Amino acid sequence: MSQVNRIKGGLIDRSQTFSFQFNGTQMQGYAGDTLASALLANGQTLVGRSFKYHRPRGIFTAGSEEPNALVQLRSGAHQEPNTRATVAELFDGLTATSQNHRGSLKHDLMAITDLMSPFLSAGFYYKTFMWPKAFWEKLYEPAIRMSAGLGRLSMQEDPDSYDKGYLHCDLLVIGAGPAGIMAALTAGRSGARVILADEDFTPGGRLNGETLEIGDMSGQAWAAQAMAELASMDNVRLMSRTTVYGAYDHGTYGALERCTDHLASANGKPRQILWRIYSKRAVLTAGATERPIAFGNNDRPGIMLAGAVRTYVNRYGVTPGTRVAVFTNNDDGYRTAADLAAKGVTVAAVIDTRNQAPAQDIPGMRHIRGAGVVDTKGRHQLKSITLTDGQMIDCDALAVSGGWNPNVHLTCHQRGRPTWRDDLNAFVPGDTLPTGMAVAGAANGALTLASAMAEGRDAALAQLADLGLKASPIDLPRAEDEARDGAAVWHIPQSKKRAWLDLQNDVTVKDIKQSHQEGFRSVEHMKRYTTLGMATDQGKTANIPALAIMAECTGRTIPETGTTIFRPPYTPVPIGALGGRARGQEFRPTRLTPSHEWASANGATFVEVGNWMRAQWFARPGEKGWRDSVDREVLATRGSVGICDVTTLGKIDVQGRDAAAFLNKIYANGFAKLAVGRVRYGIMLREDGICYDDGTTARMGENHFVMTTTTANAVLVFRRMEFARQCLFPDMDVHLISTTDAWAQFAVAGPNARKLLEKIVDADSQDMSNEGFPFMACGEVTVCGGTPARLFRISFSGELAYEIAVPARYGNSMMGALMEAGREFGATPYGTEALGVMRIEKGHAAGNELDGRITAHNLGMGRMVSKAKDCIGNTLSQRPEMNRDDAVKLVGFRPVDRAIPLIAGAHLINKGDAVNMANDQGWLSSVAYSPSLGHSIALGFIKSGDTRMGEIVRAVSPVHDKEMEVEIVSAHFIDPEGSRLRV
Amino acid sequence: MSDFILTSEPPLAGFDRRFGDTVLKAPKDLAIVSIALPLGDETKAEKAIKTAFDIALPAMGTSDVTSDKSTTLMRLANDQAFVLFACPTPDAERQIAAKLKGAAYTTDQTDAWCALELSGPLARPALERICMVDLHPDSFAINAIARTVMEHMGAIVARTDADTYLLLSASSSAKSFAHAVELSLENVS
């Protein structure tokens, strides 16, 4: 196919010819083309099928507002559906396919839907697919999805990469049209830090598509010259191919930069970058979008907005047809006719809805005034139009201008509502703008060139002055204020045929009227009922004409009828860009324990605990499943000695003259009198008296404590303590710093724990005897010939146990040393599963028990909440309801039939009672198979549990449809006297 | 003499990558000790710091280096600073505590952090991708420091020279942190 519609001129580089494919047909275009301009150049006016009726559709606009020309770009895993051909930059080797048709684009079998359109009006989904219910998901939804829709995903993993970033500036200028360039020049010359972002690949906005002059040069040349000056400024960052898609709090904006979409290959670099721009001030110069006029069959390929026609003619050197008619309700349409004529394209007629003299004299122009288009012909390409007076005009393209809507979208992102201007027949930004934003140029209703440039400059000056930055007004170059009068004509009521408003979602004038007839008075209701404005283009070309139709129906004005506001994103943002680089293994940061390398080399299976990777168990050859490994680790630990990396527990260094008094406030139980060299278990309460964390704290010196928290709550506890330090007790001399990562800490547990550690701890640094280092002792020691370490005699397993900490850099080596030292005792590494089993056997509460509802009273630790001192949560923990005698209490459970495994989460019901919430007695919170006892055991909460030892109740799990009888027992299944701890 | 010898294995030991003229490497043997100023005795502590290092405690959000370039003080908060210096042995905290003679509280932070020095023309463009702090020279002068978050990881960024930044983050996620900076460099190079 040759470039039959290519005409002279334009900003394209004819020395660079690009080959591309559309639906398998080889075509050619030039550097500087979009896919849309190249398709038009090649005479390809039919580019897609509509969403609902499968109507043939062409190219309607020349920008990001395009509702029709959505294509699938590239192929294979790189395939991207719903790309607007009007903004897809052409490159050599580009492949594109049309979407939403069965069979060929020209002969779409689903076009039969159009014949059924009388049955498919607005809201037909809601009325039609009511019954039978069984068909909803199995038949109706798949059928609808198959017959209506957009493009298809490749169903393969996205091979492209994406990135994110952060930018800062004094002034963000959004849109590099004439107003935006003036704003950027003003701010840039003042020395302010400026970002000028524009979605196009050639900055200049409408100057690139028009023949307007600035000073003594073309508008395009002026824009290029200004951009060159801006590019030379170190304080200005120019971002083309960048859409500022959202205005967020405090001057923060979201922007999508398309880095390599215009290249055949990304060459391993990010395809797109999602920027967060922190601006002190912003000027929105996003221009305006032309709106159509609705008339019968106004959706045929070849019908295009008049401004878009000018852009294709002037910027791309392409005519949309050989014989073009213009239909307008304003002066702007005449410029389209003039530009076409200047390029030698035949202008069939200019039809003006206004009964007045032409706004512009164009030699040879056929001017038809006071008329409208009521119908068109030409299935795959426009062939003729029919006017209100019945005359038919042959043409293969029609340029339509219904006036211009300022692009107010970003002004609405924080609920700002636009206001109506009668002189423009359009909404302009309202009074409530996002913080720090000013609006200038066409986006503000200054729709003529000179006024837009002046507004851009003045808005920048005002914003800089607001920042206290000095700036001088730059000279305004000579530019015209072009004629822009127009009439409020939204549709041609004489049309008998369907007249489209929302081309992407196939919503017609009739649909809006029907919506009104059926009682949908609110704009928002109308949108949802008809789906108008809810496609990927957010109704950029549809909303205002639809609103006008609605106003007609109600007999009110447009502002009385209301408007709709916009939300981010301005144009679609790929999910890949929102995800950025967070994918696969790098989805989130991973924290590794110091002995991770040793564990990896010794058969560990890892489990994610928050961001940590912890060894869950260490499988050995011959073991058939995880239970084999865990049972062995438990028995080996209780039988001799086991070693577990417990570095993940939070560690907080607490120092200061008031450290002890501070801990008295933080913990429910007392710490002020804890002796140096001793450790104490403590519980922490929230302000409402709920117990939220527990752990041990060691007093290393008079003014120095080392606290441990649970792994899960390490950050939460630190944050709450820092809040208490800074805000609740600012007069206390206390200082906190996290040392979680600083120390590699290992639990060494079991009857041979001391013997093992005697080989590790330097003999001259610590007497390891039971008397010299008793249960709950702590101290600074050295290990392995002088490495500083901390030793704590504490036990989570219930065995004789220690925790030993060394600087984290020695952690991996320490794990090896401990294992080597324990070889003669059969030392066994154990993971989090064995750790959990042993703590359940011992009856220690953990995260399963501290679930945000449980009090110290529930845990059987009510007496730990000291009445003799004040602490966080103390007062509210005394509420009567939280101290009821029949409150649930932590106890143990074992199955009556020892062979039956218990189910965590099962609820407890008294024998004989019905299984319902009214009879709920409590629940099983932690369940494990106890290899020590040879049967399943559980910790759980049951009403008055401490007084019900030996009672049999039912554990019921409706989720599993199972129930079993369980006996209430002590939570301490192993060594209830604690004698093992103290040997 | 112990039967066992522990080997020091910092998570980023030996890390050194070049992207053209930009270098990303882990400083060798960097020790970090935190100093906390006792409430009410700040003046005394500041005098002790001046005596110990021959430089004053810098203003908040800035750092300063001793005249022999051996030690850096980073003022992170009103009552908190870090001392950074080369120390291959695990006794950094004791060394600093001895210098301060009890005038401030000290905590060894050497193993809590991993450190990367990023230097060269791509340093700022790379950090733009992960660091939300405004690193423009007008906003982030040499010797400026800031606590921030990079790729969901807590971090400290310090500008130590015109195009040089010292980055600190948690040692447990050192590999993720290094990957984040490396990937940024790959993306901008």
DSSP line for A384-447: EEEETTS-EEE-SEEEEE--EEE--GGGGTTS---EEETTTTEEE--S---TTEEE-GGGGT--
Would you call B6 and A278 a contact, using CB atoms and an 8 Å cutoff? Answer: no
- pLDDT of amino acid A144: 82
Would you call B131 and A166 a contact, using CB atoms and an 8 Å cutoff? Answer: yes
Q: How far A605 CA sits from the closest chain B CA (Å)?
A: 18
- Residue (of B89, B7, B175) closest to A598 by Cα position: B7
Question: Is the per-residue pLDDT at A796 higher than 80?
Answer: yes
Residues of chain B above pLDDT 70, percent: 99
Question: For residues A428 and A448, what is the distance between their CA atoms, to the nearest angstrom?
Answer: 15
Q: Report pLDDT digits (tens) over A622-657.
A: 999 999 999 999 999 999 999 999 999 999 999 999
Question: For residues A509 and A121, what is the distance between their CA atoms, to the nearest angstrom?
Answer: 11
Mutation target vs B (from A731, A735, A739; most B CBs, 10 A cutoff):
A735
Question: For residues A815 and A821, what is the distance between their CA atoms, to the nearest angstrom?
Answer: 10
Question: Is the per-residue pLDDT at A1 higher than 70?
Answer: no
Question: For residues A44 and A21, what is the distance between their CA atoms, to the nearest angstrom?
Answer: 12
Interface membership of A742 toward B (CB under 8 Å): yes
3-class DSSP assignment, residue A652:
strand
- pLDDT of amino acid A820: 98
- pLDDT of amino acid A728: 97
CB-based burial of residue B30 (10 Å sphere; 0-12 exposed, 13-18 middle, 19+ buried)?
buried
Would you call A808 and B107 a contact, using CB atoms and an 8 Å cutoff? Answer: no
Q: Report pLDDT digits (tens) over A846-861.
A: 999 999 999 999 999 9
Q: Specify the pTM.
A: 0.94
Question: Is the per-residue pLDDT at A435 higher than 60?
Answer: yes
Q: Report pLDDT digits (tens) over A858-873.
A: 999 999 998 889 999 9
Of A589, A760, A811, the CB nearest to B173: A589
Q: Which residues of A245-264 are buried (b: 16+ CB within 10 A; e: fewer)?
A: bbbeeebbbbbbbbbbbeee
Q: How far B108 CA sits from the closest chain A CA (Å)?
A: 8
Domain ranges of chain B: 16-27+112-188, 30-110
Residues of chain A above pLDDT 90, percent: 92
- pLDDT of amino acid A632: 98
Would you call B179 and A732 a contact, using CB atoms and an 8 Å cutoff? Answer: no
Backbone angles phi, psi at A26, to 5 degrees: -75, 130
Q: How far A821 CA sits from the closest chain B CA (Å)?
A: 8
Instruction: List the structure tokens of A121.
Output: 């009006």
DSSP line for A544-559: HHHHHHHHHHHTS-HH
Backbone angles phi, psi at A841, to 5 degrees: -60, -35
Residue B168 CB-half CA count within 13 A? 21
Which positions in chain A touch B146 (Cβ < 8 Å)?
Answer: none
Backbone angles phi, psi at A493, to 5 degrees: -65, -20
pLDDT band at A436 (very low <50, low <70, confident <90, very high): very high
Supply the mean pLDDT for chain A.
96
Q: How far B110 CA sits from the closest chain A CA (Å)?
A: 7
Question: Is the per-residue pLDDT at A126 higher than 90?
Answer: no
CA–CA distances in Å: residue A556 to residues A521, A547, A976: 12, 11, 82
Q: What is the mean pLDDT of residues A364-376?
A: 95
Question: For residues B178 and A947, what is the distance between their CA atoms, to the nearest angstrom?
Answer: 56
Which positions in chain B touch A703 (Cβ < 8 Å)?
Answer: 105
Would you call B91 and A788 a contact, using CB atoms and an 8 Å cutoff? Answer: yes
Question: For residues A740 and A315, what is the distance between their CA atoms, to the nearest angstrom?
Answer: 62
Question: For residues A439 and A413, what is the distance between their CA atoms, to the nearest angstrom?
Answer: 14
Question: For residues A833 and A822, what is the distance between their CA atoms, to the nearest angstrom?
Answer: 21
Which positions in chain A touch B176 (Cβ < 8 Å)?
Answer: 586, 589-591
Instruction: List the structure tokens of B77.
Output: 């908060």
Q: What is the mean pLDDT of residues A342-352?
A: 97
Question: Among the CATH numbers 3.20.20.140, 3.40.1160.10, 3.40.50.720, 3.30.70.1520, which is that of B30-110?
Answer: 3.30.70.1520
Q: How far B37 CA sits from the closest chain A CA (Å)?
A: 8
Q: Tell me which of A124 and A429 has the higher pLDDT.
A: A429
Q: Which of A32-36, A516-520, A919-923 has the lowest mean pLDDT?
A: A516-520
- Residue (of A24, A41, A32) closest to A98 by Cα position: A24
- pLDDT of amino acid A128: 80
Would you call A168 and B90 a contact, using CB atoms and an 8 Å cutoff? Answer: no
Q: Tell me which of A135 and A956 has the higher pLDDT.
A: A956
Residue A263 CB-half CA count within 13 A? 12
First CA to last CA across chain A, in angstroms? 93
Q: How far A741 CA sits from the closest chain B CA (Å)?
A: 4
Signed CA dihedral, A793, A796, A800, A805: sign only: negative
Q: What is the mean pLDDT of residues A408-434?
A: 96
What sections of A823-862 are H helices per DSSP? 832-842
Of A163, A168, A597, the CB nearest to B136: A168
Interface membership of A590 toward B (CB under 8 Å): yes
CB-based burial of residue B9 (10 Å sphere; 0-12 exposed, 13-18 middle, 19+ buried)?
middle
- pLDDT of amino acid A283: 98
Question: For residues A6 and A235, what is the distance between their CA atoms, to the nearest angstrom?
Answer: 40
Question: Is the per-residue pLDDT at A614 higher than 90?
Answer: yes
Q: Report pLDDT digits (tens) over A170-198.
A: 999 999 999 999 999 999 999 999 999 99
Would you call B9 and A762 a contact, using CB atoms and an 8 Å cutoff? Answer: no
Q: What's A474's DSSP letter? A: P
Question: Is the per-residue pLDDT at B128 higher than 60?
Answer: yes
Q: Amino acid letter at A540?
A: K
Q: Report pLDDT digits (tens) over A726-776.
A: 999 999 999 999 999 999 999 999 999 999 999 999 999 999 999 999 999
Question: Is the per-residue pLDDT at A679 higher than 60?
Answer: yes
Q: Chains A and B: how many Cβ contacts under 8 Å?
A: 160
Topology (CATH) of B16-27+112-188: Gyrase A; domain 2 (3.30.1360)
